[in-house]
Structure 1
Amino acid sequence: MPEHQLTLSLPATPAAARLARHRAVEVIAGWNAGLHAEVVQTAELVISELVSDAVQYAGAERVLLAVSLDDVVLRIEVRDSSPVLPTPALPCPDSESGRGLFLVAALADRYDAEPTEAGKRCWAEIDLSSTSHRDVGCSLPLQRG
């Protein structure tokens, strides 16, 4: 399968996650790569969470989304201009937010956040060979921050 790529520059508004999710699913489906529905649904959720987090916490004017697909991995990257790396932790039970990275960790096979010259990049990878039977666990600290 040849590598497929999508890059979107989105305004950092509350609508960004919805726009990114819909456009990415449309493009991924257009790749005709034979991806299982579970992979596409997982990507949709991961994209939504990473873009939402970038908009909420980064305070950037724009958020950049990149999705790439090769023979073995679907990779999702979100870049913003804030140098502050996210700190994963369990939210308070009554909190209405704070679960984004927890969900990404549970859904993706790998994820991380890295500083860049212009801010940071948060990424997640979905292995194409491991999505049919997934143990939903994570390596997040089990403490409230």
Structure 2
Amino acid sequence: MEAHRLTLSLPAAPPAVTAARHKAVEAIQGWTADLGSEVVHTAELVISELVTNAVRYAGGGHISMTVRLTEAALEVDVCDTNPALPQPGLPDEHSENGRGLFLVAALADRYGAEPTPTGKRCWAQIARATGPGRRITVPLPLQRSRS
């Protein structure tokens, strides 16, 4: 059962990252669910990374973001028009970028990407439960890029 939902259509331009993050956090905090600050802060970081990737690789046009609160999780979907699926990995130590999906993997309880008829959808789920029982796992192996 879905309790709350926010859907945004944004231009694939850098200001979209800030707009998506602020609108999502404002909506999440307005929902009457007691999510706790850890879930809200995690969502804020995950949204920033997923929208940044969409802006960077969408090739113009628009991106869409949906944030849903279900009984079990806060779910974030970001869609763009580029059909190429992301390849998570560790960049070399001199790279200025390439760590976004590593952060999403570390912060979210589940994440993934899948093709859509118009591009791709990258998603993440953040469990509503927090505290000592919450485990953060990173799927391995991650390969450092050699560029």
Q: Same fold (TM over 0.5)?
A: yes
1:45-88 superposed Cα distances (whole Å, 9 cap, x missing partner): 00000000011122131110000001111100000011000000
Cα distance change of structure 1 residues 57 and 25 upon mapping to structure 2, 3 Å threshold: same
Query: Distance in 2 between the 1:118 and 1:49 partners?
Result: 21
**TM-score normalized with structure 1 length:** 0.94
Runs of 4+ in 1 over 3 A off after TM superposition: 133-137
CA shift at 1:114, angstroms?
0.3
Please give the residue correspondences for 1:88-127 in structure 2 after superposition, counting only pairs within 5 Å.
88-127=88-127
* Equivalent in the alignment of 1:132: 131
Query: Distance in 1 between the 2:67 and 2:7 partners?
Result: 7
1:3-28 superposed Cα distances (whole Å, 9 cap, x missing partner): 10000001111111111000000011
Does the 8 Å contact 2:68/2:75 carry over to 1? yes
Please give the residue correspondences for 1:29-68 in structure 2 after superposition, counting only pairs within 5 Å.
29-68=29-68
SS of 2:44's equivalent? helix
Does the 8 Å contact 1:90/1:141 carry over to 2? no
- Count of aligned positions: 144
Q: What residue ranges of structure 2 are gaps of 5+ in the alignment?
A: none
Does the 8 Å contact 2:10/2:63 carry over to 1? yes
C-alpha root-mean-square deviation of aligned residues, in Å?
Answer: 1.4
CA shift at 1:140, angstroms?
4.2
Q: What residue ranges of structure 1 are gaps of 5+ in the alignment?
A: none
Cα distance change of structure 1 residues 71 and 136 upon mapping to structure 2, 3 Å threshold: closer
Cα distance change of structure 1 residues 87 and 31 upon mapping to structure 2, 3 Å threshold: same
CA shift at 1:128, angstroms?
1.0
Query: Distance in 1 between the 2:24 and 2:103 partners?
Result: 19
Matched, 1:82 2:82: yes
Paired residue type of 2:131 = S
Paired residue type of 1:105 = A
Alignment identity in percent?
Answer: 59
Does the 8 Å contact 1:105/1:140 carry over to 2? no
Matched, 1:9 2:30: no
**TM-score normalized with structure 2 length:** 0.93
Does the 8 Å contact 1:79/1:121 carry over to 2? yes
